[in-house]
Amino acid sequence: MKKLTPSCLVIMLILFAIFFAGKFLSNSEKSTRLSFISNFINTLSFPFEKGFSYINDFSKSFKTRSTLEKKVKNLEKENEKLKFQNSMLKQQVYDSPLLEKQLDFRNTINFRNIPARILYYSPTSWFDTAFLNVGTDLEVKKGMGVVNSEGLIGQIISVSKKSSLLSSLTEGSSAVGGMVQRTGVKGIVKGDFSDFLIFTYLRSDADILIGDICVTSGDGSLIPSGIPIGKVKKITNDRVSDTKTAQIEPFVKFHEIDNVFIAILENEQ
C-alpha cells in the first residue's frame, strides 16, 4: 500500500477542518454573513457526511448479513440432524413388528438356532447370495440351513470367523431334501435359476397335488425336518423316466429379508 504524500495529508486536514467548522458555525446565528459561510461550509461538507453515513450503514448491514448467514447455517445443520433422527425413528417403527414376528417364531421352533442379520446381498444378479454377520466364532458351519418365520431361505456355503455366505434355495447349485407335508412323499428340491424350485425324483404314482405344502425332510443334510419350503404350483409327468416333477413356489422372497436364524441340529452342538 502506497504512503500518503504530505500534500495529500494537508488536503485531508483542510477538509476535516472545513467539516468541523461547518458544524460549529451551523449552530451560530450571530450574523447573516456567518450564516452564509455556514451554509457554504455545510454544502461542502455534505458529501463527506453522506459518505460517512453510507459507510456506517454498510458496516451495520454487513454485520447483520453475516449474523443471518451464521444463523441460517446453524438452522440447516439442525434441520439435517432432525431429518436423520426422524428417519431412524421411522425405521424403528418399521422394524418393530418384523422383529417381534421373528422373535415369536424363534420361541416356537424346536431346534437350537443362531440369530443373524443380512449385511448385504451379492452385488451381481448372477447369484442369489447374501453375507451374514455371524461365522465360526458362533459355531456356524458350511451346509447349515437358514430360516425365518416364513420358512427355509437357503444354506450356508462358506464361512469365516465373523461372517458367512448364504445361498438362496433358488440358486442353481442348491439342493435339499424335500417332503410333501400331507403324504410324506420324499424327493429333492433344487434351485432353477428362477423364482421357482423344482421338486424331483418323485415316482410316477407319488401322491402329490397342486396346492400341497413342501417341507424339509431332514435327510442327508444339516437342515432339520418339517421346515416349510413352498407350495406346489405345477406337476409334470415324464413317461420316459416314469417319474413326476413338481414346480414349487417358495414361501420366502429372498431379497425381502433382514433377520434370519441359522439352524443347528442336536448332533452338531
**End residue of a domain, out of 108, 140, 170:** 108
User: Collapsing DSSP states into helix, strand and coil, what is residue 204?
Assistant: coil
Mean pLDDT of 236-249: 92
Residue 93, pLDDT > 80, answer no
Grid cell in block for residue 224: 432339520
Same structural domain for residues 69 and 133?
A: no
**Percentage, residues of the chain above pLDDT 70:** 63
User: Collapsing DSSP states into helix, strand and coil, what is residue 263?
Assistant: strand
Same structural domain for residues 70 and 166?
A: no
Helix pair 32-108, 6-26: axis angle to 10 deg: 100
Same structural domain for residues 160 and 223?
A: yes
CA distance 201 to 175: 12
Same structural domain for residues 76 and 143?
A: no
Top mean-pLDDT range of 84-93, 123-132, 252-261? 252-261
DSSP string of 60-79? Answer: HHHHHHHHHHHHHHHHHHHH
- What is the 8-class DSSP label of residue 41? H
pLDDT at 70: 77
Domain that holds residue 164: 112-268
Q: What angle do CA 206, 211, 216 make, to 5 degrees?
A: 65
Same structural domain for residues 123 and 26?
A: no
Same structural domain for residues 118 and 89?
A: no
Same structural domain for residues 132 and 252?
A: yes
Q: Which residue has the higher pLDDT, 265 or 209?
A: 209
Grid cell in block for residue 156: 450356508
Burial (CB count within 10 angstroms: exposed 0-12, middle 13-18, buried 19+), residue 161: exposed
- Yes or no: say if 106 and 148 are a contact pair by the CB < 8 Å rule: no
Same structural domain for residues 142 and 191?
A: yes
pLDDT at 8: 60
Same structural domain for residues 118 and 28?
A: no
Same structural domain for residues 125 and 100?
A: no
Burial (CB count within 10 angstroms: exposed 0-12, middle 13-18, buried 19+), residue 150: middle
Q: Give the model's confidence band at 265: pLDDT under 50 very low, under 70 low, under 90 confident, else very high.
A: confident
Phi, psi of 163 (to 5 degrees): -150, 170
Mean pLDDT of the chain: 78
CA distance 227 to 231: 12
Same structural domain for residues 124 and 13?
A: no
Q: Average the pLDDT over each of 32-41, 142-151, 210-219 and give the range with the smallest value.
A: 32-41
Residue 100, pLDDT > 70, answer no
Model-wide pTM > 0.75? no
Polymer length in residues for the chain: 269
Q: Average the pLDDT over each of 10-14, 121-125, 144-148 and give the range with the smallest value.
A: 10-14
Grid cell in block for residue 26: 451551523
Q: Which residue has the higher pLDDT, 87 or 198?
A: 198
Other C-beta atoms closer than 10 Å to the C-beta of 44 total 14
Q: What share of the chain is helix, strand, coil (3-state, %, to 5)?
A: 40, 30, 30
β-bridge mates for residue 92, sequence order: none
How many structural domains comprise the chain?
2
Residue 129, pLDDT > 80, answer yes
Mean pLDDT of 207-231: 91
Helices within the chain (DSSP H only): 6-26, 32-108
- Yes or no: say if 174 and 167 are a contact pair by the CB < 8 Å rule: yes
pLDDT at 32: 47
Mean pLDDT of 238-262: 91
